[in-house]
Amino acid sequence: MSEFHVVPGVVADDILAAAQDRVVRVVAEAYLLHDAGRTINPDSYFLRFPDKPDSRIIALPAYLGGDVDTAGIKWISSFPGNHDRGIPRASAVLILNDYATGRPTACLEAAGISAARTAASAAIAAAALGGTWPPDGTPAAPRSVAFVGTGPIADTIARYLRQVGVPLDDVVCHDLEESRAARFAAGLGGAARTGTLADALDRDLVVFATTAGTPYVPADTPLRPGQLVLNVSLRDLAPELLLRANNIVDDVDHCLKAQTSPHLAEQLTGSRDFVTGTLGGVLRGEVELDPALPTIFSPFGLGVLDLAVGSVVLAEARAAGRAIDIPGFFPG
């Protein structure tokens, strides 16, 4: 048997489609391990290009302890111009390394893995902050939902919200490209419809998954007590909005960087006092929310989550004989 495997995207996506429940569990466990200090998750490294300012490739090295006990790195590109080429904005590979020897054990196509871990994280936050975590199979109370930005990340978040029992029966979809919002709404079925940004901002649960580089949701937007915002794209909200909200992040040091709205809020106030807690803390029941405020969850996106989900995909692909052996990958 060779020591190195390649997992193509078609295989990873098949496995992910059948393993949503497991993905939710391993992502929640990874947050708890991170919270317990059993991960190593250095800063992401951004490769930018002066002649392509909208594009970037990010390296996310990490080590995840516990049963996974694996190191690795995700290398993920964002080239928004790809839309005009008819291919997705994001593409990625994930390298996994054996922790005993340091040797790379696999290379996985990782756009789907990255989307799944992002969506699982958003869905866990929606359930935990909405008081329905852990999911027990009973649907959470019906609530109105909005998606602002309707690309593949929003699509995957929709599937994972359903996975944790958040009903999507009353949904507004908004996108700068109206045809994308319409396609997304049609895909959701039921009572999903397209709407304006103002319509969207009035919903109980608002998911941001755009590619905005600077805030366009104004400081005087009336977010209300109990409203939940999943700030997955991180740069849509005026920082003042965060100063009138409960703020949950995945990791304080990571999230308050790279001109995210939480980073802008820190620059505005000179302090991190507006951060209420982390998702790991919420899952441990250690974070108290002020019920008089809306709640904003801002996940920077931790490399340890990619390791957690990538390890599931590799194990399943190997068990099914669908991981491609590369004999002789390591000489000698």
The binding site for ligand NAD (CB under 6 A) comprises: 78, 80, 89-90, 114, 118, 148-154, 174-177, 180, 209-212, 216, 232-234, 299-301
Q: How far is the CB of 279 from ligand NAD (least distance, A)?
A: 12
Measured from the CB atom, the residue of 6 and 212 that comes closer to ligand NAD is: 212
Q: Which two tokens stand for residue 295?
A: 């709640």
CB of 180 to ligand NAD, least distance (A): 4
Least distance in angstroms from the C-beta of 294 to ligand NAD? 19
Nearest to ligand NAD of 71, 206 (CB atom): 206
Query: Shortest Cβ distance from residue 328 to ligand NAD (Å)?
Result: 35
β-pair partners for 87: none
The closest alpha carbon to 227, from 145, 311, 140, belongs to 145
The token pair at 201 is 């901002």
173 sits in which H/E element:
strand 171-174
Q: Which of 78, 56, 94 is closest to 153 using CA atoms? A: 78
Report DSSP state, residue 140. P
- Residue with Cβ nearer ligand NAD (35 or 323): 35
Residue closer to ligand NAD by CB (options 171, 323) is 171
CB of 302 to ligand NAD, least distance (A): 8
User: Smallest distance from the beta carbon of 115 to ligand NAD, in angstroms?
Assistant: 7
Q: Which residues pair with 71 in a beta bridge?
A: 63, 97
Nearer to ligand NAD, 63 or 79 (CB): 79
CB 241, min distance to ligand NAD, A: 15
Rg of the chain (C-alpha set): 19
Q: Which residue has the tokens 């989900």?
A: 309
H helical segments located in the chain: 9-18, 20-35, 82-85, 111-129, 152-163, 178-188, 197-201, 239-242, 252-255, 261-269, 279-283, 303-319
Smaller CB separation from ligand NAD, 172 or 209: 209
**Beta carbons within 8 Å of 309's beta carbon, 6+ residues apart:** 16, 23, 26, 27, 113, 116, 117, 120
127 or 158: whose CB is closer to ligand NAD? 158
Q: How far is the CB of 116 from ligand NAD (least distance, A)?
A: 10
Nearer to ligand NAD, 34 or 89 (CB): 89
Rounded to 5, what percent of the chain is helix, strand, coil? 35, 25, 40
